[in-house]
Amino acid sequence: MTGPFTVWAPDGLPEVNPGDDLVALTAPVLAGLQDGDIVVITSKIVSKSEGRVVAAHDREQAITDETVRVVATREHPGGTTRIVENRLGLVMAAAGVDASNTPDGTVLLLPLDPDASARTIRAGLQRRLGVRIGVVVTDTAGRPWRQGVTDLAIGAAGVVVLDDLRGERDTHGRLLTATVTAVADEIAAAAELVKGKSDGRPIAVVRGLGHLVTDEDGPGARAVVRLGPDDMFAQGSAEAYAQGWADAQAAVADGQG
């Protein structure tokens, strides 16, 4: 049974610049880490340290460059919103390209491999601080059918990312057949409650969930991504309708041929 846990966001992290050693910068503000703690890091500072700040006077072009597949496009008074699958397999607005808190004329791309970033940070912090921890790298995204945005895990190391409860029984004895909990996303969302979007505290520590910290790095947050045959909503409704209409017309044309 999971007991109480605590989440806090330490102060004191300096501005992160391209080429900075993120482990060296974060270790001093995380000096009190204990075995079983989970460090939750906003992807923005991971991207900055890895030099993912790129010149892009046209943010739309940067989004196009990071896009693998367009899911939905909507025009609105403020411009155009594109929901796309990016190079990491993540489906989100603007491919995760961020134009906030970066110098004029630049945008910030997501880390090339957030799971690898999480593994590197975990190994470095464990070595420096002598503790056994987990690391989750997060980004912000919207969700179908829900207003607002929340943080989710895009990288993870040493943390259970999915808790498969299938085969267990609920409190009434009923067999669970479909319940798989996205633990890493829940940790990311809990951490965002204390980090905030504009408070200058991009790191949080979760204590009390040591049963979710693993010896091995594990499969990473990539295991949470649902694509291919498992994705029942691979297109926006308007796009799916248009594609279905086009397919129907093509089938009629083939039949007439």
Mean pLDDT of the chain: 88
Q: Which amino acid is at 2?
A: T
At 221 the pLDDT is 96
Tens digit of each residue's pLDDT (9 = 90 or more) over 50-66: 999 988 877 888 999 99
| 95 DSSP assignment | G
Q: What gap in Å lies between CA 56 and CA 53, rounded to an integer?
A: 9
SS3 (DSSP) at 196: coil
Tens digit of each residue's pLDDT (9 = 90 or more) over 11-48: 999 999 999 999 999 999 999 999 999 999 999 999 99
Tokens found for residue 84: 């796309």
Q: What gap in Å lies between CA 98 and CA 92, rounded to an integer?
A: 12
**Could you give the domains of the chain?**
6-52+110-225 (3.30.1330.100)
At 104 the pLDDT is 81
Buried/exposed 76-112: b ≥16 CB within 10 Å, e otherwise: eeeeeebbbbbebebbbbbbbbbeeebeeeebbbbbe
As a whole-number percent, the residues of the chain with pLDDT over 90 amount to 64
SS3 (DSSP) at 188: helix
Q: What is the 3-state secondary structure (H, E, C) of 126-175?
A: HHHHCCCCEEEEEEEEEECCEEEEEEEEEEEECECCCEECCCCECCCCCE
Read off the pLDDT of each residue in 189-214 and give the average, rounded to a whole number.
Answer: 91
pLDDT band with cut points at 50, 70 and 90 for residue 151 = very high
At 103 the pLDDT is 79
* Distance set, CA 96 to CA 112, 152, 187, 215 (Å): 12, 12, 20, 30
Evaluate if residue 134 carries a pLDDT over 80. Answer: yes
Q: What is the CA radius of gyration of the chain?
A: 21
Tokens found for residue 50: 């890895």
